[in-house]
Structure 1
Amino acid sequence: MSNRPAGHVARSTVRPHDETRRRGAVGTFLRTADGVPVEARYEPRAAAPEAVPRAPAGAPAPPLGDPVFVVAHGFTGDVDRPHVRRVAGVLRGHGAVVTFSFRGHGRSGGRSTVGDKEVLDLAAAVDWARGLGHARVVTVGFSMGGSVVLRHAALHPGTVRAVVSVSAPARWYYRGTAPMRRLHWLVTRPEGRLVGRYGLRTRIHHRDWDPVPLSPVRAVPRIAPAPLLIVHGDRDGYFPLDHPRMLAEAAGDHGELWIEPGMGHAEHAADDALVDRIGRWSVSAAG
Structure 2
Amino acid sequence: MPSHPTADFARSCVPSITSSGRRVALLTDDGVCIEAEYSPRADAPSAAPDGLVVVLAHGFTGSLDRPALRRAAAAFAQYTPVITFSFRGHGRSGGRSTVGDREVLDLAAAVRWARALGHTRVATVGFSMGGSVVVRHAALYHPEHEGRTGAHTDMVVAVSAPARWYYRGTAAMRQLHWVVERPLGRLVGRLGLRTRIHSEAWDPVPLSPTEAAAGIAPTPLLIVHGDRDPYFPLDHPRALAAAAAPGSADLWIERGYGHAENAAAPELLDRIAGWLRQRASAAPRQGW
Q: Distance in 1 between matches of 2:216 and 2:116?
A: 22
Aligned mate of 1:95, from 77, 80, 85: 80
Tell me if 1:187 matches 2:180: yes
- One-letter amino acid of the counterpart of residue 48, structure 1: A
Alignment-derived partner of residue 140 in structure 1: 125
- Two-structure CA RMSD over aligned residues (Å): 1.6
Is the contact between residue 13 and residue 26 of structure 1 (CA under 8 Å) also seen in structure 2? no
Count residues with an aligned counterpart.
265
- One-letter amino acid of the counterpart of residue 158, structure 2: S
Aligned mate of 2:189, from 177, 187, 196: 196
SS in 2 for 1:6: helix
Is the contact between residue 19 and residue 25 of structure 2 (CA under 8 Å) also seen in structure 1? no
Aligned mate of 2:115, from 124, 130, 133: 130
Alignment-derived partner of residue 204 in structure 2: 211
Alpha-carbon distance, 1:269 to partner: 1.0
Alpha-carbon distance, 1:6 to partner: 1.1
Tell me if 1:253 matches 2:247: yes
Tell me if 1:32 matches 2:28: yes
Aligned mate of 2:97, from 105, 108, 112: 112
- One-letter amino acid of the counterpart of residue 226, structure 2: G
Is the contact between residue 18 and residue 26 of structure 2 (CA under 8 Å) also seen in structure 1? no
Please list, as runs of the form range in 1=range in 2, the aligned pairs for 1:234-253 lying within 5 A after superposition.
234-251=227-244, 252-253=246-247
Aligned mate of 1:79, from 37, 61, 64: 64
**Cα deviations by residue, 1:93-128 (Å, 9 ceiling, x for unpaired):** 111100000000010000000000000000000000
SS in 2 for 1:286: helix
Alignment-derived partner of residue 42 in structure 1: 38
Alignment-derived partner of residue 6 in structure 2: 6
Tell me if 1:276 matches 2:276: no
Alignment-derived partner of residue 162 in structure 1: 155
Alpha-carbon distance, 1:66 to partner: 3.4
Alpha-carbon distance, 1:48 to partner: 2.1
Tell me if 1:285 matches 2:279: yes
Alignment-derived partner of residue 267 in structure 1: 261
Alpha-carbon distance, 1:286 to partner: 2.2
Alignment-derived partner of residue 152 in structure 1: 137
SS in 2 for 1:222: coil
TM, length-normalised to structure 1: 0.89
Is the contact between residue 49 and residue 66 of structure 1 (CA under 8 Å) also seen in structure 2? no
- One-letter amino acid of the counterpart of residue 154, structure 1: A
Alpha-carbon distance, 1:239 to partner: 0.2
Which runs of 5 or more structure 2 residues have no equivalent in the other structure?
144-151, 282-288
Is the contact between residue 30 and residue 125 of structure 1 (CA under 8 Å) also seen in structure 2? yes
- One-letter amino acid of the counterpart of residue 94, structure 1: Y
**Cα deviations by residue, 1:161-195 (Å, 9 ceiling, x for unpaired):** 10000000000000000000000000000000000
**Cα deviations by residue, 1:125-177 (Å, 9 ceiling, x for unpaired):** 00000110000100000000000000000000122110000000000000000
Q: Distance in 2 between matches of 1:174 and 1:253?
A: 28
TM, length-normalised to structure 2: 0.89
Q: Distance in 1 between matches of 2:97 and 2:263?
A: 23
Is the contact between residue 175 and residue 181 of structure 1 (CA under 8 Å) also seen in structure 2? yes
Alpha-carbon distance, 1:65 to partner: 3.7
Tell me if 1:231 matches 2:224: yes
Q: Distance in 1 between matches of 2:24 and 2:46?
A: 26
Is the contact between residue 73 and residue 144 of structure 1 (CA under 8 Å) also seen in structure 2? yes
Q: Distance in 1 between matches of 2:280 and 2:114?
A: 15
Q: Greater CA deviation, 250-259 or 136-145?
A: 250-259
What percentage of residue pairs aligned between the two structures are identical? 64
Q: Distance in 1 between matches of 2:118 and 2:108?
A: 16
Alpha-carbon distance, 1:51 to partner: 5.6
